[in-house]
């Protein structure tokens, strides 16, 4: 089933890229680092220790699901943040459409992980829920904008209406989706906590207008680290 769902999501993302490319002329194609080592680094940072053997997202279905938890939600919060700043009706419609499908994908991933929340990931002895909580905490730390991320099990006061631990869908106190700025997104996907310092999944940095502006400032030394 995981393979089937992954293939569906992958083909959906291909169409997303084509839709964006049609709307945004000169759509950039930055270098991505999706190696096992890149994901292992994120997991080590999230847990605050090096796992042995290193976490490999491609080793089995469960590892792949945990790795899938790392990236998509960040993009989802970026779409939410961007929606209020768009002027063009065409751009607004595109982002609304992308957000709808991305939200669905994230919900499926979180639901599958929620079903295994208390299962311990071999050979580390760490539960699936703890993996998600630590990853969410790392993203909050890197984003430098407070709590905008939650794992699949939370303390009751953090759950819906402050009454429940289960957290299949993450949201704020009103159960509304969190939003992130472009700067927050860059800090997280770079893994550096800085929009000026590329790395992580984007070793050479992003290739859009906003990302490039920070890279230029970094190269010229015209910013305070």
Predicted TM-score (pTM) of this structure: 0.93
Between 109 and 29, the more confident residue is: 109
The CB density around residue 105, as the number of other CB atoms within 10 Å, is: 19
- Owner of token pair 């990931």: 121
The residues, any chain, with a CB within 8 Å of residue 124's CB and separated by 6 or more, are 51, 55
Please state the rounded mean pLDDT for residues 173-197: 96
Dihedral angle of Cα 213, 19, 65, 75, to the nearest 10 degrees = 30
Question: What mean pLDDT, rounded, does the chain reach?
Answer: 94
CA dist 59 → 4, 35, 54, 63, 64 (Å): 17, 12, 11, 7, 7
Q: What are phi and psi of 199, to 5 degrees?
A: 160, -160
pLDDT tens string 93-137? 999 999 999 999 999 999 999 999 999 999 999 999 999 999 999
């Amino acid at each position: 089933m995981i393979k089937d769902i992954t293939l569906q999501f992958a083909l959906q993302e291909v169409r997303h890229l084509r839709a964006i490319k049609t709307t945004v002329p000169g759509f950039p194609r930055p270098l991505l680092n999706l190696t096992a080592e890149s994901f292992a680094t994120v997991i080590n940072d999230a847990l605050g220790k090096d796992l042995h053997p290193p976490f490999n997202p491609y080793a089995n279905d469960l590892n792949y699901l945990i790795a899938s938890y790392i990236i998509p939600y960040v993009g989802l919060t970026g779409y939410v943040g961007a929606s209020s700043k768009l002027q063009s009706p065409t751009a607004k419609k595109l982002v609304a459409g992308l957000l709808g499908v991305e939200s669905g994908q994230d919900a499926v991933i979180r639901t599958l992980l929620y079903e295994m929340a208390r299962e311990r990931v071999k050979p580390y002895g760490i539960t699936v829920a703890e993996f998600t909580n630590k990853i969410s905490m790392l993203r909050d730390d890197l984003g430098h904008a407070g709590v905008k991320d939650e794992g699949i099990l939370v303390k009751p006061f953090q759950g819906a209406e402050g009454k429940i631990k289960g957290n299949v869908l993450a949201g704020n106190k009103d159960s509304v989706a969190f939003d992130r700025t472009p700067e927050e997104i860059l800090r997280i996907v770079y893994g550096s906590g800085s929009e000026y310092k590329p790395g992580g999944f984007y070793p050479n940095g992003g290739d859009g207008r906003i990302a490039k502006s920070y890279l230029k400032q970094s190269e010229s030394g015209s910013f305070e680290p």
